[in-house]
């Protein structure tokens, strides 16, 4: 079964749009502020997608574009201003920031109640203790794929390959909170294929093209591929897509192709699989929209003091 992330993302956007419309009609339109420093082409593409999605679901959005030369103190002042503004419910600081900027200090300055990326330690703590908070968008999207595809999580063996603070760890915590038995694997894991083969649900978030091959996967397992890697080397392309005429034509014309952390051959073994592209990727922006709506609702509810930061 191919798990259609694009369709699920569209469903979520439609649901968010309906709620945003109702809130706006009541005079309480949710708002998102995006901070993009300098000119990083990949970041500019991501931000354009986020701003476009905001408009499509009816969120108020604004973009702040300080120059590459911006100082840490200047960014802190911008974040402090956005924290104070009541019409801004979500603040997203697009990474990476320039090397001379203290990125951790800037991210820590964001009010956790407006931290729609879910990176702040306050929100990490709320997630780990199963309290209401804002959850990182990509792991939250993974859980939506599983839930909306009617894939059983409770009581299942789940293996997460990757332990990053923004994907691997929160994905593991969400699966634990959903009553899965979770193993987190990484570069120091002994016999990684054997550990992965125990999984009923295998989540790959390691950033290495096609590393998870069929010998990592238990027959019938659900495989969630969070990776997004651009392949430009012809030999590497052949390892991944030999015999795939459609991909070969695309590779010849563009000189590159996208692949996840899971080898395409895993489709012969897995019971369900997210494609790349079109799997987890579309959920990330959809969940950002959902998080902005959630932040707006929580800030207007009695739970707001629990999340406020000073």
- Out of 89, 111, 117, 261, the active site residue is 117
DSSP string over 31-68: EEEEE--S--HHHHHHHHHHHHHHHHHT-EEEEE---T
**Are 267 and 240 within 8 A, CB to CB?**
no
7 catalytic residue (yes or no) = no
Q: At a CB cut-off of 8 Å and minimum separation 6, what does 52 contact?
A: none
What three-state secondary structure class fits 231?
strand
63 catalytic residue (yes or no) = no
- Out of 89, 94, 111, 261, the active site residue is 94
- Out of 50, 114, 169, 218, the active site residue is 50
First-to-last C-alpha distance (Å) of the chain: 47
Residue ranges in 65-120 assigned as alpha helix (H): 72-84, 103-109
50 catalytic residue (yes or no) = yes
Q: At a CB cut-off of 8 Å and minimum separation 6, what does 126 contact?
A: 132, 133, 307
**Residues acting as catalytic residues:** 50, 94, 117
């Amino acid at each position: 079964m191919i798990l259609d992330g694009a369709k699920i993302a569209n469903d979520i956007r439609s649901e968010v749009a309906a709620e945003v419309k109702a809130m706006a009609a009541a005079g309480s339109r949710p708002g998102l502020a995006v901070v993009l420093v300098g000119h990083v082409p990949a970041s500019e593409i991501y931000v354009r997608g986020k701003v476009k999605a905001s408009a499509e679901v009816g969120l108020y959005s604004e973009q702040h574009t300080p120059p590459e030369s911006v100082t840490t103190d200047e960014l802190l002042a911008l974040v402090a201003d956005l924290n104070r503004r009541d019409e801004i419910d979500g603040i997203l600081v697009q990474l990476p920031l320039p090397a001379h900027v203290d990125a951790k200090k800037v991210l820590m300055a964001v009010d956790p109640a407006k931290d729609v990326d879910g990176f702040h330690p306050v929100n990490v703590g709320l997630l780990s203790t199963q309290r209401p908070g804002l959850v990182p968008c990509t792991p939250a999207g993974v859980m939506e794929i599983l839930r909306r595809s009617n894939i059983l999580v409770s009581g299942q063996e789940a293996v997460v390959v990757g332990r990053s603070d923004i994907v691997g760890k929160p994905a593991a915590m969400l699966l634990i909170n959903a009553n899965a038995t979770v193993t987190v694997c990484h570069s120091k894991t002994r016999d990684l294929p054997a550990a992965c083969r125990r999984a009923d649900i295998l989540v790959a978030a390691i950033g290495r093209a096609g590393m998870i091959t069929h010998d990592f996967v238990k027959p019938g397992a659900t495989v969630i591929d969070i990776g997004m890697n651009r392949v430009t080397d012809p030999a590497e392309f052949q390892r991944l897509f030999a015999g795939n005429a459609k991909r070969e034509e695309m590779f010849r014309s563009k000189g590159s192709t996208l692949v996840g952390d899971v080898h395409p051959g895993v489709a012969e073994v897995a019971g369900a699989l997210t494609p790349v592209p079109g799997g987890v990727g579309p959920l990330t922006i959809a969940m950002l929209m959902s998080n902005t709506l959630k932040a707006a609702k929580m800030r207007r509810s009695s739970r707001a003091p629990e999340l406020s930061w000073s």
